[in-house]
Structure 1
Amino acid sequence: MSTHVTHLKGATHRGYLELPWGQVHFRRSGPAGGPALVVVHQSPLSSATYEPAMAALAAHGLDTVAIDIPGFGMSDATPEQWSIPEYATALWQITDALGLGKVHLLGQHTGAIIAAEATLQQRDRVLGLIFQGIPLYSDEERAEKAARYAPGYTPAPDGAHLQVVWDRVRWLYPTISAESASRQVAEYLSVGPDYGVAYRAVFAHRADTAALKGVPTLLLHGSEDVLDRMNDVVTAAFPDAPLVRIDGGTDFVAEEKPQEFAAAVAGHVLAHAAAAAPPFTPLYTAVVEVTGGRAGRARSRSGTLELALTRPAERSGAAGAGATGTDPEELFAAGYAACFGSALGVAERRRRVSAGPVTVTASVTLGTRPGGTYGIAVRLAVTAPRCPQPVLEELVALTHTLCPYSGAVRGNIDVTTEVTGGS
């Protein structure tokens, strides 16, 4: 049994965001700038449910962020009882703090209701939805569950409340492993005796599924998921959404069958990722005229740039010691480093941290490929001696999603990033 399943930690990068109500804990995997997938778990559990699938999702090229809903897992509690619209508003605040624009949303149970409401709030930012079980209760069911579904527990000196929580988990999920059930007990305890706070929000909310028509949607869950019983209701509400049931999987199919789960998720996300490119609005245009190719001259239309260009062979080794002029690789390196440094400043403001003095060094290498064609590769070295290494790494990852140079070359050339922060 993988230790990823048994506790709240894991191998995925983890971090915290500072939001108006407190800290929000998240897990993140995959390439910066890949199709963004935001995962919202069921209550009263946490993003640890998805830890075993994070690497598999990354392998498909998805930039996946699994959050701990405010008040659950390792995220701070809300100051008062929140409604589903308030949770949805918070989800967009979290998404903004992560530096993400348009995203795909995956929600499970409580998380599905939050994701649906978030889509209604900012539909233009949602490229696709995945509901891993969405509880579309009738008015009668919502009233009944509000009255008795999550009674809470009272801490007892002899630890009897631990048995209460264990029995509840086993009642809900009789077939899951003891390791997974143990982790869930820890998740219940992390919330506190009143673990039903998000349930109350769900039971008080009526999801407007008709308003979601036109949003690419996938219904995905294990065949043994507790909400599998609602398939008739859910498929009627989302007639255009395919239903994928992973055989033998429970509510925790992401940890039980991570590869199969990730393949189904990625298939939907990648099929609807093309719309991720935002519309292009021109802000500034630089015009440079070059005559004579690599051995010629470059002059900007503004007249502020005028210089000689030199071939790489004339700048290499001892023969190039006295060479004058520059070359396209140096110019590209200067542009990339300058742009990346400015984008890192934006990342600092979004994360509400200061990296201190930062130096970005770009090395652009011209080389050959099989068949005699030419190509380039880039190495970025980012140094900030006053910034803790983990903080700087997080800032640089975010910067790659913000810098237009990184966006332009992503998937086209090799870009290696070296990050050197303080202790």
Structure 2
Amino acid sequence: MTVTDAEPATPAVQRRKAGSGEIAYRRAGQGHPVLLLHSAGGANEWGPLQLGLVATGDLVAPDHPGFGLSDDLPEIHTVDDLVYHYLDLLDGLGLAQVDVVGLSFGGWVAAELAVHSPERVRRLVLGAAVGLRIPEAPVADLFLMNPPQLMRALFHDEALVTAALSAAPTTDQILATYRDLGALARFGWHPFLNDPKLERRLHRISAPTLVLAAGEDRLVPRAHAERYAARIPDAELRVVEDCGHALHGERPAEVTAAIVEHLGAEK
């Protein structure tokens, strides 16, 4: 699958009542519904991965509460709360069963959702997901990283690092980044980006699962993907070589093709 210059324009942002405020989401495509749960830095994003998913299904891509264009919804302050939040969203949209693609922080939420309500998830993709407690292979503390360190954790290709650091962010982009990091801290500060109970519950996941690991991930050690794949029944582990934590940012064609192939496979 190749994204071409003829792809449709980015769909308009939609807003939906949720708790004390509203959440923002984009929706496009036809076919089986796909819920895309973004990473800490992926809110309000529309790129090759989203285009690939739209080409094969009905994509629903929300911003988590407190991220991107969604309201803060302060009553939602744990990942468990996010699971119920997304179940309410699916109910409100009339979606009984969906494919779920979760990336990094969104992968944690996706795994918890599939553990809680396995009947709601037809197929599952976890990309460089956090969420597990592995003391011998801890997740790096991105809150302590300066911009060059963070970019080198996200991207393995030095050219991408240089490009990212040379692009001067606007004031709005800086404020959006700080807001997203604040929301990430709200959901994952203590314990740090993990649920100590999650690993022993992964056996409840019944959806065919693809676990993607970045070969050169400096944020989330490969042991996390390996543990997810080992604990989820019949999960497939695929390593994207020469790639940093930002899987679909560094290897968009390869990662998108792998996800689309998994979602389109016969059960």
User: Into which bin does the TM-score normalised by the smaller protein fall?
Assistant: 0.7 to 0.9
Kept after mapping to 1: 8 A contact 2:66/2:183: no
The partner residue of 1:73 within 68, 73, 77 is: 68
Selected match of 1:166 from 138, 144, 147: 147
Q: Please list, as runs of the form range in 1=range in 2, the aligned pairs for 1:118-157 lying within 5 A after superposition.
A: 118-135=113-130, 137-138=132-133, 140=135, 149=141
Q: Quick one: distance in 1 between partners of 2:250 and 2:143? A: 29
CA distance in 2, matches of 1:48, 1:165: 23
**Matched residue, 2:34:** 37
Amino acid at match of 1:253: L
Residue 90 of structure 1, CA deviation: 0.6
Q: Distance in 2 between matches of 1:259 and 1:78?
A: 35
Number of residue pairs matched?
A: 246
1:229 aligns to 2:254 (yes or no): no
Q: Return the alpha-carbon distance in structure 2 between the equivalents of residues 136 and 194 of structure 1.
A: 16
**Does structure 2 conserve the Cα–Cα contact (< 8 Å) formed by 1:29 and 1:55?**
no
The answer on whether the counterparts of 1:73 and 1:191 sit within 8 Å (CA) in structure 2 is: yes
Match of 1:111 in 2: 106
Query: CA RMSD of the aligned region, Å?
Result: 3.2
User: SS in structure 2 opposite 1:130?
Assistant: strand
Q: Does 1:212 align with 2:204?
A: yes
TM-score, length basis structure 2: 0.76
Match of 1:251 in 2: 245
The reply to whether residue 54 of structure 1 matches residue 56 of structure 2 is no
Which 5+ residue runs of structure 1 have no aligned equivalent?
A: 1-9, 153-163, 274-423
Q: Post-superposition shift, 1:266? A: 1.7
Q: CA deviation at 1:24?
A: 1.2
- 1:235-274 → structure 2 map (5 Å cutoff): 235-238=229-232, 240-272=234-266
Change in Cα spacing, 1:50 to 1:78, as seen in structure 2 (3 Å) is: same
The secondary structure found in structure 1 opposite 2:227 is: helix
> Quick check: 1:104–1:129 contact (8 Å CA) kept in 2?
yes
Residues 171, 211 of structure 1: CA spacing in aligned structure 2 closer, same or farther, 3 A cutoff? same
Equivalents in 1 of 2:107, 2:147: separation in Å?
25
**Alignment check: 8 A CA contact 1:219 1:241 kept:** yes
Post-superposition offset of 1:56:
2.1
- Deviation digits for residues 143-173 of structure 1, max 9, x if unmatched? x87xx93658xxxxxxxxxxx7624523533
Amino acid at match of 1:126: V
Aligned partner of residue 25 in structure 1, secondary structure: strand
Identify the structure with bigger relative contact order (alpha carbons < 8 Å, sequence gap 6+): 2
TM-score normalised according to structure 1 size: 0.50
Q: State the SS of the aligned residue for 2:257.
A: helix
Alpha-carbon separation, structure 1, partners of 2:114 and 2:11: 27
Q: CA deviation at 1:271?
A: 2.0
Q: For 2:27 and 2:161, how far apart are their aligned partners in 1?
A: 25
2:5 alignment partner in structure 1: none
Which amino acid is the alignment partner of residue 127 of structure 1?
R
Matching residue of 2:189: 200
Q: Deviations over 1:75-128 (max 9, x none)?
A: 111315612211111111222333322101111222122112212332211101
Structure 2 stretches of 5 or more lacking a match? Answer: 1-8
Distance 2:102 2:67 in 1: 15
CA shift in 2, pair 1:212/1:174, >3 Å: same
Query: Cα–Cα, structure 1 residues 173 and 266, in superposed 2: closer, same or farther, change >3 Å?
Result: closer
8 Å contact from structure 1 (residues 46, 69) kept in 2: no
Which residues in structure 2 correspond to 1:326-341 (within 5 Å)? none
